Amino acid sequence: MEIYEKNYNKWLEKLDHDDKMKTRLLCMKKQEKMDSFYKYIDFGTGGVRGELGIGTNKLNIYTIRKITEGLSLYLEEKNNKEKSIVIAYDTRFMSKEFCLEVAKNFITHGFKVYIFDDVRPTPLLSFAVRYLKADIGIVITASHNPSNYNGYKIYNETGAQIVTHEANSIKKYIDLVEDEFRIKVISDDFLFNNPNFSIIGNRVENAYLEKVNSLIIDKELIKNVGNNLLIVFSSLHGTAKKLVPQALKDAGFKNVIIVKEQSNFDSNFSTVESPNPEEYSAFNLAIQYGEKVGADILLATDPDSDRLGVMVKDFNNEYRQVNGNQLGALILTYLLSNYKEKLKNYNENFLLKTIVTSNLGEMIANKYGVKTINTLTGFKFIGEQINMIPKDSKFILGYEESYGFLIGDFVRDKDAIQAAVIISEIATYYKNKDMNLFDALHTIYEEYGYYKEELFSISLKGLEGEQKIQEIMLNYRKNPIKSTKIGMVKFVEDFQKKIKINLLEKTSFPISLPKSNVLKFILEDGSWFCLRPSGTEPKIKIYLSVLGETELDCERKMELLKDEILAELY
């Protein structure tokens, strides 16, 4: 009997007769059984993300219980003192229910449990872990994924997401939980009346907003001309509905218009194809608002408020997205040009970015003598690195191409609320010079060279899709591309084998980062492309970055490189 059949039969036997899941199980076709039961849902670095549904490979109350039981056992083994946890949840289907399942489990294991009274942003959870001095934090969210997804992010006592070695240890305990149907579950009444259970009031939120406000560099500028900046903001049906407008108001930005159709908590995200501010279509309503009122800047956050998307007018007076790499360059330039005297007070100053983020940030950092640390993909690795920065050194900025930014390290994960305030300050600064962010970006390109980046993904679901992804990566490892239509490949970085190969000189060097199934091909002119299976969705991601003498040169190179790689993959 195959593994999916064993798991399926186990669930069929264990589920109560009146459980709605049992009825669904009996109607499953073979392929659906295979996809739902061929394994237990992957627990990886940071936690779990997957489709809601029935089965061991889906997120439901039983898989949530199994994961949580393993995590509780891990923490009990790790630390015998009195322990505490903070739990938050977003606007997705089952988020509140999963939050309560987690709370119940930790109460049975003797933890002090804090939960928020309603949906809250992920960065606030990270802050709360540090503020309340908790041992662990969990947020129920699937970030920017489609509405049929949910997830489970785990944060350690520093407020950063758990990383590889922590995840590997936790997974061992999860695997020890053999029967998800035998885990003890207390009642709602027992939970709510337990002395170890607390609902978090406004003090954590207020303390967080004070910290966000402290990041503003030029308060006098905003006081004098901040009202000249007209902002349109959409929370895309997510958790930033309250905190982004409040943070902007506290900073002095009074001219903020909310996209009302997207300010309600809607688990279907019914006004957008995808609640992802990386997607142009997510801004369709915001663009309508912007064009009606003549907005200077459009802002949008994803459902758990850790990613910020931005649009401004281009040279043709049309709203255009400023991508994550570009926003990072704008923020970094503004911070360093204002910090340049203060930088001398520190032993070292650090920019943190991921290996799939544009090299433009590193070029800007070099100008100011700031050291760049490149991490594996995922903000959890940036959070980990912040914890390693010496006390006599300064953290300047952490960012990644996927619209994640962190300016103040009182949070240890990407924070769209911080970013919304700082981007608005930067937009005000340039508006006072009769410029916008698009103009400012081109002044950066004129100084450092033109960069263009793209990301595309190929979705491959189920067991068959997982095998196909592995075949693609194996083929690129066995037969690495040595030349492209825009230039020769100079380096191949294989992060799984932890080796960097110089194809031209036939030499190799070790890579110090942890193992990861990632391949990066670097061309002679500094352009590059990278292949990485997603850690949260059934897809393979292909990142591209090109350098050129002009914007048109970049566009030409990007088109050639992208077409060539697509031809290889298909």
Cβ-proximal residues to 487 (8 Å cutoff; 6+ apart), any chain:
523, 524, 525, 527
Please tell me the distance from the alpha carbon of residue 122 to that of residue 411, in angstroms, as a whole number. Answer: 10
- Comparing CA positions, the residue from 156, 160, 139 lying closest to residue 90 is 139
Do 469 and 535 contact (CB within 8 A), yes or no?
A: no
Q: What is the C-alpha to C-alpha distance for residues 271 and 262, in angstroms, rounded to an integer?
A: 7
Burial class (CB in 10 A: 0-12, 13-18, 19+), 564: middle
Tell me the Cα Rg of the chain: 24
Per the CB < 8 A criterion, the answer to whether 244 and 235 are in contact is yes
CA distances from 381 to 160, 373, 469 (A): 9, 10, 24
3-class SS of residue 436 = coil
30-37 vs 462-478: helix crossing angle, rounded to 10? 60
d(CA 362, CA 376): 15
Bridge-based pairing of strands 404-406 and 394-400 is antiparallel
Contact (CB, 8 A) for 46 and 378: yes
C-alpha neighbours within 13 Å on the C-beta side of residue 560: 16
Residue found by looking up tokens 């825009």 in the block: 486
**Kind of pairing, strands 47-51 and 528-533?**
unpaired
Name which of 449, 452, 456 is nearest 542 in CA terms. Answer: 456
Beta bridge mates, 484: 487
3-state secondary structure of 338: helix
E strand segments, 90-230: 112-116, 136-140, 149-155, 197-200
How many Å apart are CA 130 and CA 132, to the nearest integer?
Answer: 6
Nearby residues of 524 by Cβ (< 8 Å), 6 or more positions away: 487, 488, 489, 490, 504
Q: What is the C-alpha separation between 184 and 482, in angstroms, rounded?
A: 56
Which three-class secondary structure state does DSSP give residue 532? strand
Can you tell me the distance from the alpha carbon of 568 to that of 570, in angstroms, rounded to the nearest whole number?
6
Which one, of 569, 489, 478, lies nearest residue 528 by Cα? 489
Compute the Cα dihedral for 417, 422, 428, 434 and give only its sign.
negative
Which are the catalytic amino acids? Answer: 143
